[in-house]
Amino acid sequence: MRLSVAAAVLLSAAAYYVYLPLPPGVCEPWKLMLLDALFRSFMTAGDVLHGLGLVHRVHLLNWLVALVEEVPARSCPALMVSDSSLGGVPVRVFAPRGEERSRRGVLYFHGGGWALGSARMRSYDLLCRQMAEDLDAVVMSVDYGLAPESVFPAQYEDALSAARAFVSVDTREQFGLDPGRLCISGDSAGGNLAAAVAQTLSSDASLPARFSLQALVYPVLQALDFHTSSYQQNQAVPILYRDVMARFWLQYLNASAALEPHVLANAHSSLLDAPTRDKIDWTSLVPAAVRKHYTALPPGGAAAKADPVFLDVRAAPLLADASVLSRTPPAYIMTCEFDVLRDDGLMYARRLREAGVAVTSDHYDDGFHGCMVFANLPMWSQVGRRSMRRYIQWLDQNL
C-alpha cells in the first residue's frame, strides 16, 4: 500500500513537472513537453553547479549533449563521411561516392545559441547525411568555436573563414564542386552566421566563386527588440524561452549577464535613431495576420543607447542596409508560429524582398523552435519531418 501511494505521488510529481500549458495548434504537444522537461532538467543542473563554482553551465550542457548525441563519422555505401578542417575550422564532410562529376555543395552551420551543439551531434549528422544523399551534394557541417571560450566576433570569423575556403579553387577541385551551385545555410544561431557571412561575401569581388543561395532556418537576426509580436506571444513556449534567448545573446556579445533585465525591457535600445528602428519595426514588417493583436510596448527601465556591439551587422544581419541586402543571393527562410524568433525571419524576408532579392518564405503554423532537427527517432516530430523534407526539396529545386 505504501509503495503504491509513493509511486502515485512520484508519478503525480513527474506529471506536474512535465506538464506545461501550450498554445493550441502546437504539433504533438506531449512530445514537446517531454523534450522541454529534459532540457529544463539539464539547464537547472547547470545553473546549480555553476552557482556552486564547480563547472560552467554551458560546459555541463555540452558535456551532456555530447554524451547523449555525439556520434563518430561513419561512412556508408552512399557517402564518405569524415572529420576534417576547412579554413582552419573543424568540419564534418559528407561526400557522395560514385563517379566523379561536378556536384552541388552546401555549407551548414548548426544552431545552439553560439554556445551549444556540434556538427558531431546525431541530429545534425542525420540531417546532413539526408541532404548529401537526396541532393547528391557535398555537405560540410561546421564546428565553429563556442561560448564562453569564443565570443563575438570569433564565431562569425570562424564561419567566414570556412565559407571562404569552401568557395576556394582548392576545395572546389578537391571535392568536385560546381562553382555555380553552392549554398550557405544554417539553423537558429547557425542561420545568423549564414546570413552574416552571405552579406559579407556578397560584397567581395575577389572571390573565385559565390554562393548562389542562402537557406536560413528559424534564424536569430537581431538583439534590439525582445518585445516583437513573436517574443510576446511565445515567451513561455519551449524549447527557446525569451529569457534564454537574451542570455544567449549576452554571452555571445560578451556583455554582462547583469544586463538581462535591461535588455528584456528593451531599455538598451530605447534611444535608437529612426533609420535603425525602421529596420526592426515589426509593426510594419510583419504581416498583420501574423502579429495578431500584439502592439509595440514602451521600453521599461532607464532609457539608454544600444551598445555598439548590438548594432554590428555581423552580429545582427537584420540591421544591414538595403544596398547590402540587394547583393545577397536568393533566399529560403523557414519560420515557425510558436517560436520567439518567428518575427526575425519574417522581417528579414520582407527586407530582402524590398531590396530586390528573391525569397521563399516557408512558415509552419504548428512549428516550434528547433523542430527541423527533431525529424528522426527518438524525438520524431511530424512537423520536424515535414520541414526537413520541404527544406531539402527546395534545395533540390533551386540549387
- Output the pLDDT for position 3: 43
Could you tell me which of 95, 90, 91 has the C-alpha nearest to residue 76?
95
Q: How much is the pLDDT for 19?
A: 60
Is pLDDT larger for residue 286 or for residue 4?
A: 286
| CA distances to 13, 159, 351 from 326, in Å | 54, 21, 9
The distance from CA 133 to its chain's CA centroid, rounded to whole angstroms, is 23
**Interval 156-173: pLDDT, tens:** 999 999 999 999 999 999
DSSP 373: G
Q: Where are the domains of the chain?
A: 25-399
pLDDT digits (tens, 9 = 90+) for 217-242: 999 999 999 999 999 999 999 999 99
With bands split at pLDDT 50, 70 and 90, how would you rate the model's confidence at 22?
A: confident
Residue 40: predicted pLDDT: 85
Mean pLDDT of the residues in the chain: 91
Highest mean pLDDT of the ranges 2-6, 33-37, 223-227: 223-227
Once rounded to an integer, what is the mean pLDDT over residues 178-201? 98
Q: What's phi and psi for 109, nearest 5 deg?
A: -115, 125
Out of 141, 362, 369, 381, which one is annotated catalytic? 369
CA–CA gap between residue 39 and residue 174 (Å, rounded) = 40
* Fold of the 25-399 domain: Rossmann fold (3.40.50)
Catalytic residue among 339, 343, 344, 362: 339
Q: Residues 188, 229, 269, 381: which is the catalytic one? A: 188
Query: What secondary structure letter does DSSP report for 50?
Result: H
What count of other Cβ atoms lies within 10 Å of the Cβ of residue 38? 15
For the record, the C-alpha cell of 133 comes out as 544523399
Active-site residue flag, 369: yes
Percent of the chain beyond pLDDT 70? 95
pTM for the full model? Answer: 0.94
Q: Is the model's pLDDT at 268 over the cut of 90? A: yes
Q: Is the pLDDT of residue 7 over 60?
A: no
Is residue 188 annotated as part of the catalytic site, yes or no? yes
